[in-house]
Amino acid sequence: MQSNYPHPIIAKEGWPFLAGAAVLSVVATSGWGWWSIPFWLVTLFILQFFRDPPRSLPVDADAVVSPADGRIVVVGKARDPYLDRDALKISVFMNVFNVHSNRSPVDGEVRKTWYFGGRFFNAALDKASLENERNALWIHTDSGAEVTCVQVAGLIARRILCYVQNKDRLTRGQRFGFIRFGSRVDVYLPLDARPQAAVGDKVFAGETILARLPVKT
């Protein structure tokens, strides 16, 4: 295992929200005393939502790690609409209590990105993959495999953040984006990838192995 921790333990996306909530809580405390408790509860919620703990990454060359914290809601054959191919699809659903930083599932180069505006169905539903707002990355791995990683907005999530573009280099477990307040991430893999996770499993971004890619010799 190796460590990947290039950022503070609170995600940078959360600092404006956390600072604003903390200031309001302090002001409420000075003026209202015990009536300020709801403000502090909101501040604590924001603190837990934007937490971004360090992770220990598997070093196996064939490992595909989870791009998000949450629970597996899909494992099976599906059509990859971005690369127009049959693929193994694995989907991770994030609720509002999960860490929402998104990390690269593999080592590789970003060949193309897509952004689609859309609706905001419950991200646990299958139709969310094709109808909700989403941002997709096509990653060409060092071993020659093609991986598609898709950030999907949810019922509450209204903002997808992605910090990479075409030709950027990603390493497994590297932080590449964030989704605010409940969502999902879909991963499309070659059909000969071997799933290591099952529906209902709890997974952690950058740490849990979702599947293994065939090793080419």
pLDDT tens-digit series, residues 140-157: 998 899 999 999 987 665
Chain centre distance of CA 160: 10
C-alpha span between 173 and 54 (Å, rounded)? 10
CA-nearest of 166, 167, 158, 164 to 134 is 158
Q: How confident is the model at residue 1 (pLDDT cuts 50, 70, 90)?
A: very low
Active-site residue list: 183
Half-sphere exposure of 75 (CA within 13 A, CB side): 14
Match 């000075």 to its residue by tokens.
30
C-alpha span between 88 and 73 (Å, rounded)? 13
Q: What is the pTM of this model?
A: 0.83
Cβ atoms of residues 169 and 142 within 8 Å: no
